[in-house]
Amino acid sequence: MIDALQNTGHKGFWTQGDSPPQTDSEALQNALYSLNQPYILVDQNGQPATVKGGSLTLQPSGNRNDSDVLPDSPDSGVRHPVLAFTPSLPPENLGDPEFIKCHNLRYAYVGGAMANGITSAAMVEALGKAGMMGFYGSAGLTPAEVEKAIDEVQQKLGNLPYGFNLIHSPGDPDLETAVVGLYIKQGIRKVCASAYLNLTPALVHYRVTGIYQDNRGRIICPNQVVAKVSREEVAQRFFSPPPEKLLVQLVENKTLTRQQAELARHVPMADSLTAEADSGGHTDNRPAISLLPTLIALRNEMVKAHKYPQSIPVGLGGGIGTPQAAAAAFSMGAAYILTGSVNQACVEAGTSEDVRRLLAEARQADVAMAPAADMFEMGGKVQVLKRGTMFAQRAAKLHELYTVYDRLESIPEKTRFQLERDYFKCSLDEEWKRTRAFFMVRDPRQVTRAEQDPRHKMALVFRSYLGQSSRWATTGKADRKMDYQIWCGPAMGACNAWVRGSFLEKPENRDTLTIAMNLLFGACILTRANWIRCQGVALPPDMDTYSPLPLDAIVKYMQ
């Protein structure tokens, strides 16, 4: 209802040109959605109206009354008191322009890395060609699988923006070192560093490889690190230069020259940093509304302390599943937004149709924390979907057994039977044979240790269930549906609630770019609507929300 618009005064006046003011709801909404044009509301005989063309005169002082508006003059046209005004706000204007420039982007939008290739080459390609950036989900893959993905992405994107994930592997540092060597060899210039608690020699090696000083005296790091953290102490490490002891180590083993080490002492470990809030997978479940401002303040402190010549962009990930969430992130000062869970239900995601369907049906409360395969012994957890799968409960049971018993043989017979029937679908002895064969190829040291330490043997067997469960999900293994491990945060449920009743409700209609552009386009609309409210004008409820639009409709509004 148009009469729901209320105003406390006038902000100036608008002089009518060829087009008269329009008061109908459709015109008001179309003008709000036309993001490349300013949005002007005027008083038309006591009714709010949107206008085009003409000329606008804004008053620097506070609210104005009708008596303050200058009368019409024969050569100036009809004048209308201005109720509210917002400038144009195309999606390209969201976020930090320095982040956009640094990564050669059009939009401050990043597709986060989801392990096992869930953030696939096709997804990275779609984002890169649209002026966004995607990080391929290389965690959990072998170096050979990662190399194959590198070849595919580089062939499709060339010089367009893209990156690859580099995950901290405390249980397998050799794998992390091998992946870094592969990235350096293949010329991967951007990585998303995730799950780090401390900086490692491999990560520092990647960051400082090729560092030099240009003819203007600027220190250039060809390899860019976008860190993803949820703790202040970890963020501080990425805002700081590389640790001195690791630089010395790299010099001693001839990986770095002394001159390069000296340059490295003056640059931060990360070019950009993502504040990771309540995300799927590895997460500390931090609230975005407190985490982002805290890390921005820490960034400012560290930039000043280290006298960096430029700032370090801080973006927000975790919980970004609706235009409202995206608008809130940018309003809080996020340099960019990073999405994850919502992309997993898209057609480009490297997962199965079963998983996409389960994700598209999820609600916000349909998630739970479960033991992580890569940090099982340390008690690390990941956030997963609990609706339609029993993985969270079964994984928790395995960790409980690990904390109670010192070896597989100590587990009571009734419990062993349950594990063999429901979890492993084979005897524990047979599962150990399979696990042993896997680690003889992947990391023989684990087998040597397990044969000397029964509790470590038990951990490896239990980890085999956790590790395989995510692959069962991505491949859609039919007889393992109840064991699917599906990384997912509350953003998925929020997204599903937003798209319910629209063309995006069905997962087969969800593609990465359509989701991304609707989040950005909707964020701009909701931001402009909020600016109107801040000027004392209350918009009607149907203009206070945004429903998904097809890409061609968004493009039409932005022309």
pLDDT per position as a tens digit, 181-230: 999 999 999 999 999 999 999 999 999 999 999 999 999 999 999 999 99
How many domains does the chain contain in total? 3
**Residue 99 and residue 82 in one domain:** no
Do the domain assignments include residue 498? no
Residue 97: pLDDT band (50, 70, 90) is very high
**Residue 38 and residue 100 in one domain:** no
Beta strands in 155-276 (DSSP E): 163-167, 190-194, 212-213, 219-220, 224-229, 272-276
Q: Are 408 and 454 in contact (CB under 8 A)?
A: yes
**Residue 302 and residue 399 in one domain:** no
pLDDT score for 69: 45
Do the domain assignments include residue 506? no
**Residue 305 and residue 410 in one domain:** no
- Of the three residues 459, 483, 507, the one that is the final residue of a domain is 483
Q: Which residue range is the domain that position 51 belongs to?
A: 2-88+517-557
C-alpha–C-alpha distance, residues 351 and 390, integer Å = 18
**Residue 242 and residue 380 in one domain:** no
Do the domain assignments include residue 316? yes
**Residue 100 and residue 222 in one domain:** yes
Do the domain assignments include residue 247? yes
**Residue 370 and residue 326 in one domain:** no
Which residue do the tokens 């798209």 mark?
499
Do the domain assignments include residue 263? yes
pLDDT over threshold 90, residue 139: yes
pLDDT score for 472: 97
- pLDDT tens-digit readout, 261-287: 999 999 999 999 999 999 998 888 899
- Of the three residues 295, 311, 339, the one that is the final residue of a domain is 339
What mean pLDDT is predicted for residues 413-423? 96
Q: Are 42 and 82 in contact (CB under 8 A)?
A: yes
pLDDT over threshold 90, residue 314: yes
C-alpha–C-alpha distance, residues 292 and 329, integer Å = 8
**Residue 468 and residue 534 in one domain:** no
Min mean pLDDT across 46-50, 61-65, 506-510 is at 61-65
**Residue 319 and residue 333 in one domain:** yes
Do the domain assignments include residue 169? no
Do the domain assignments include residue 347? no
C-alpha–C-alpha distance, residues 276 and 319, integer Å = 9
- pLDDT tens-digit readout, 499-527: 999 999 999 999 999 999 999 999 999 99
pLDDT score for 551: 97
Q: Name the β-bridge partners of 487.
A: 384
**Residue 270 and residue 381 in one domain:** no
Which of 252, 161, 238 shows the shortest CA–CA distance to 204?
238
**Residue 328 and residue 400 in one domain:** no
The three-point CA angle 338-339-340 to 5° equals 130
pLDDT score for 53: 86
- b/e map of 97-120 (b: 16 or more CB within 10 Å)? eebbebbebebbbbbbbbbbbbbb
The chain-wide mean pLDDT, for the chain, equals: 93
pLDDT over threshold 90, residue 435: yes
pLDDT score for 10: 67
C-alpha–C-alpha distance, residues 74 and 95, integer Å = 45
Instruction: Look up the CATH number of the domain holding residue 214.
Output: 3.20.20
Report percent pLDDT > 70 for the chain.
Answer: 95
**Residue 448 and residue 521 in one domain:** no
Do the domain assignments include residue 160? no
Long-range contacts of 436-443 (CB under 8 A, 24+ apart): 438/464, 442/172, 443/172, 443/174, 443/175
- Of the three residues 441, 458, 483, the one that is the final residue of a domain is 483
